[in-house]
Structure 1
Amino acid sequence: MATVEFKQVHKTYPGAHIVKGIDLKIESGEFLVLLGPSGCGKSTTLRMIAGLEDISEGCIEIDQQVVNDLEPKERNIAMVFQSYALYPHLSVYKNIGFGLRLAKVDKQIIDSKVRDVAELLELTPLLDRKPKDLSGGQRQRVAMGRAMVRTPNVFLFDEPLSNLDAKLRHTMRAEIRQLHDQLKKTTVYVTHDQVEAMTLADRVVIMHEGHIAQIGKPRDVFLHPQSKFVAGFIGSPTMNFLKGDVRIDDSSNYWLNFAGNDVQLDQSYSGNVGEVDLGIRPSDIYLSPKTCSHNNPLHEFEANIDSYELLGATALIVVSRGEQSFKVEVSANYALESGQAMTLHIDLSQLHIFDTQSGAAVYRVIN
């Protein structure tokens, strides 16, 4: 196992600054996920660890050794790509052992390692098959086996499940996490899929325009986003954003006015007086006050259903109130249809407040 540390790492191309001064330490044995939209710099960050991209400024250390000038083969890392990158003319057995043969490892050692990894990945019955005879999930396991057989200090995954269907992605997520728990190797995993990030990561790093927007455990990032960007990126369905206004009274108390409601804020409020952006998740808007948390303050309002989308056990409805639209997540048991008028209840204890200019989180009504 090994630590991986970024110290003020930049990556620039002519006319483009892709990674902008990242400081990050990945602990030994940790499963860390780099998450963000396309173009945020996450894959470039991973490729700099691997040595596939040069570092423009700063340094990367693997197990306290600066690796800026080391070739990929000298870093003792293994990478699993989105495209599998298997050799179509070689069997599963030879694909898994290819790197060892290239390194001129003894044939008996290669055989032992390949068969051990194949058993761990449940590939033993497939060792004589060619990649064209395998399913997508089996091919991905072969690609993982080829990385594992070298016993690296660090595993790198670059969107390895994006080519698989939804059901297979779910299965492979569980397998990857189970393997990590068994091997306990330092793992850095890149994805744009927040479900993968939330289910796999010990910690998740949210990247935005080359910067780290937030680092934390998945649950903490979801419940306590530090910016409007993170709040809007994490969570499905996405968070609703509204406008509010903060004022201060003669006793120096802060009050939030939201849709005609005054909610007193405690002294943890760190924003300015005036207009603010509010965030509320679709799951915190209810059809009935009985489903809200006990004794939480509520805002009740009338709205019309614009659209209804069945998601399975839940449904997503879009409602409108004047010029404002809200997404609301409800149980699929409710018989609802477009055009229907209804009363909704917002759980004010779940409101997030963001600075209108910077987007930084300045308050959550109840922490």
Structure 2
Amino acid sequence: MNDGPGATTHVESLLRTEAPQVLGALVRRFGRFDIAEDAVQEALLAASRAWPADGVPKNPRSWLIRVGYRRMVDLLRSDQARRRREQEAGMAELAMREPARRAGPSEETDDGLALLLLCCHPALNPASQVALTLRAVGGLTTAEIAHAHGTTEAGLGTRISRAKQQLARAGARFTMPTASDLHSRMAAVMRVLYLIFNEGYTASAGDQLSRVDLTGEAIRLTRMLGDMVPDDAEATGLLALMLLTESRRAARIGDHGGLVPLDEQDRTRWDRDLIREGTQLIDSVWSRRATGPYQLQAAIAALHAAAATPERTDWPQIAMLYLWFERLTPTAPVRLSRVVAVAQAYGPARAMALLDDLNRRHGLDQDPLTR
């Protein structure tokens, strides 16, 4: 027996880690993401009931895959195209008995990156990409995702179901993309992870200003992405940005539940371990030839984190970085952020002149994002 809160917490953490790998094994074998995802959820439910009491099996991933295979067979048999899938179901049963004779990747293949790319398929809109990533790769339940987005579980379930149908209609396959489109798909993955983190850091729905579960999940998935593509400087920059931003979480909400501006925060409450790791990460990629928006934002966050007091912030350097950032991402919020940095670095007169120039050239007062 292995009862107790600690055992339950360990099981939940293990299941969340193993879920993407189990899903990848089933999708790779059957080629049906929609049904495989349902089978994995049922396997995870079975494990959450059995393992806290009976103990975690010696090879938890194999245990989950076996249960998932059995449920896949049941689901395939009950599908509308029963006759067409009879042979496929029989082959799956044979595969469970003789896995060593089957060709192809083993159960231990890490499918996390392929799953991220599949969930971020261009056929899906960003909202569906985020929901599907949290469910399939992050291991969050439909109820957890629905709560984070301020919607009903039924509504979120419908969105995920439609996303899976869209993937099927688009002919999406569980394979790594070709070299020609890997860059664009990686950009979508990073955008989704960035959106997940931002939703957790400043929740747009619910009764909490932040959602630690979402920021933590975004950081975990971004770490996984960085491990899989260690030469991608933007992936490293994204992780650094998340860590440096998360380091301020304890100080950004006041005693009465309201947000505390950056220059009023108690900096002794900032997480120095996260600051140290985030700064080391951005320093490690800063000298590379290509610099992207996530790296620039991380560099700005690192300068804020390095200042012991608001007065000691290196605002001239931040203003320069915002100019660089604006050239890569010419949006109204970025331009206004540069104006603020210039005001801090060089005074209000110079900032007002810059603001007038930007407004004249880009119509900032007409941009809905500035209202």
TM-score (norm 1): 0.23
Relative contact order (alpha carbons < 8 A, sep ≥ 6): 1 or 2 greater?
1
- Which structure has the greater CA radius of gyration? 1
Q: Which has the higher helix share?
A: 2
